Amino acid sequence: MFCPKCGSLLLPKKDNGKIVVKCSCGYNSGDNVNTKFSESIKQKEDVSGAVDSSIETLPLTEAECHKCKHKKAYFWEVQTRAADEPPTKFLKCEKCKHIWRDYS
């Protein structure tokens, strides 16, 4: 419900033990309210299983893992130093999940 004077949202308040809707501009609905107010708390849905973390969304490149000698790895870049320096390339082995850096 909105205030007929200023258009703001009317909020339910207790006035002499009765629930009425009032506005910050001073408008008071008085006894004209035929609306019932109720509060309810909705339960949050469990969405933790919605995202499968085992699926890699990173791009794949040809790179040899130092640990298991597998030839493919996922990669991403992060600007770890100053802006005038090149970004650091991180690689993650497709097979054993070992992570290493490539500074070239």
d(CA 65, CA 87): 20
Residue ranges of the domains in the chain? 1-36, 60-102
* Residue 102: how many other CB atoms lie within 10 Å: 13
Rounded mean pLDDT, 62-71: 94
By annotation, the residues acting in catalysis are 84-85
Q: What are the angstrom distances between the C-alpha of 89 and each of 19, 38, 45, 57, 96?
A: 62, 55, 38, 16, 18
Per residue in 1-51, pLDDT (tens digit) is 788 888 888 887 777 777 778 888 888 776 555 566 566 777 777 666 655
Confidence (pLDDT) at 51:
58
One of 3.30.70.20, 2.20.25.10, 2.30.290.10, 2.40.128.110 is the CATH number of 60-102, namely: 2.20.25.10
